């Protein structure tokens, strides 16, 4: 089994559509032991969802913006397992003022909140768990991303936060490489999670993927992203760190794509007008 014996901490499970839920489900199927985290009003919801996993698991309280809770969870992991093989950072937040065209008018207070939750919490969580990862031989840290290489309609300050997340990934890979810890991100295409559908322009993103994705993209199936996360947790990619792995049907790689039936190529000029064939 790909993750046999692995011990994993997973943030960000809210519903069965959550990418983190897909990762937790697949990880358990591949032999891992999992603990989830949640906080506030979401905590009882996550606990109910955790009961539907192949192996119902514990859900610990963790607000990633509170240093004392980060320290408490690290201590609890030490007491429970003594080490940690991997973690998933699946946390992001932006108020409505920071999305959907509000970029030029968002206050610093709202921007600071976006950056704290969506960017700074990634190194904060990793720092708290670093000694446990080192004890496990290095382990693997994975975060969830959305391609920050270009501007997306309505994504606004969350796009800026994701660009910061990608930079944090590189610096964490540099800082923790000597202890053997790998740090990577998975950049997913648009999925109809609770967080994503809070963006009014989600349908624009979905339409973009429908037109441009070389591979068919299913916006309600988080399984491909969960599989990528599990692959990064596994021992099969021991020299991969500081990477952004795109699981987006190929949209990041192409400027445009024309949807064709499988196995068909470009229409020849002869087929179009009876003149010279262009292969």
Q: Which of 7, 21, 155, 171 is catalytic?
A: 155
Phi (first) and psi of residue 145, to 5 degrees: -130, 165
Residue 122 backbone dihedrals phi, psi, to 5 degrees:
-65, -55
Measured in degrees and rounded to the nearest 5, phi and psi for residue 38 equal -165, 180
Phi, psi dihedrals of residue 37, rounded to the nearest 5°: -130, 155
- How far apart, in whole angstroms, are the C-alpha atoms of residue 119 and residue 138? 22
Q: Helix or strand or coil: residue 40?
A: coil
What's the number of CA atoms in the CB half-sphere (13 Å) around residue 166? 17
Please tell me the distance from the alpha carbon of residue 143 to that of residue 145, in angstroms, as a whole number: 7
Look up 21 and say whether it is catalytic. no
232: β partners? none
Which among 1, 17, 14, 5 has a CA at the least distance from the CA of 226?
17
120 classed as catalytic: no
Contact present, 103 and 149 (Cβ < 8 Å): no
Q: Which of 6, 7, 162, 171 is catalytic?
A: 162
Place of tokens 């955790």: 50
Give the residue numbers annotated as catalytic, written as ranges.
155, 162
């Amino acid at each position: 089994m790909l993750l046999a014996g692995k011990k994993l901490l997973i943030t960000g499970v809210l519903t069965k559509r959550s990418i983190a839920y897909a990762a937790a489900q697949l990880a358990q199927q591949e032999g891992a032991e999992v603990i989830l985290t949640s906080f506030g009003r979401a905590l009882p919801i996550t606990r109910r969802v955790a009961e539907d996993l192949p192996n119902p698991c514990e859900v610990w309280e963790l607000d990633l913006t509170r240093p004392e809770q980060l320290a408490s969870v690290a201590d609890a992991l030490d007491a429970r397992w003594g080490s940690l093989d991997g973690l998933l950072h699946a946390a992001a937040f932006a108020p409505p003022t920071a999305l959907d065209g509000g970029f030029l008018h968002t206050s610093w207070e709202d921007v600071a909140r976006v950056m704290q939750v969506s960017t700074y919490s990634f190194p904060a969580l990793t720092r708290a768990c670093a000694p446990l990862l080192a004890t496990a031989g290095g382990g693997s840290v994975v975060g969830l991303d959305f391609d920050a290489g270009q501007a997306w309609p309505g994504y606004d300050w969350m796009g800026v936060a994701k660009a910061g997340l990608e930079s944090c990934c590189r610096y964490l890979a540099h800082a923790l490489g000597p202890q053997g810890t790998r740090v990577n991100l998975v950049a997913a295409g648009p999925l109809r999670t609770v967080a994503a559908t809070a963006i009014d322009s989600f349908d624009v993103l979905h339409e973009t993927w429908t037109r441009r994705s070389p591979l068919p993209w299913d916006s309600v199936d988080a399984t491909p992203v969960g599989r990528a996360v599990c692959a990064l947790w596994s021992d099969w990619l021991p020299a991969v760190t500081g990477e952004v792995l795109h699981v987006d049907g190929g949209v990041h790689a192409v400027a445009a794509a024309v949807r064709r039936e499988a196995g068909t190529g470009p229409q020849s000029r002869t087929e179009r007008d009876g003149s010279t064939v262009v292969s």
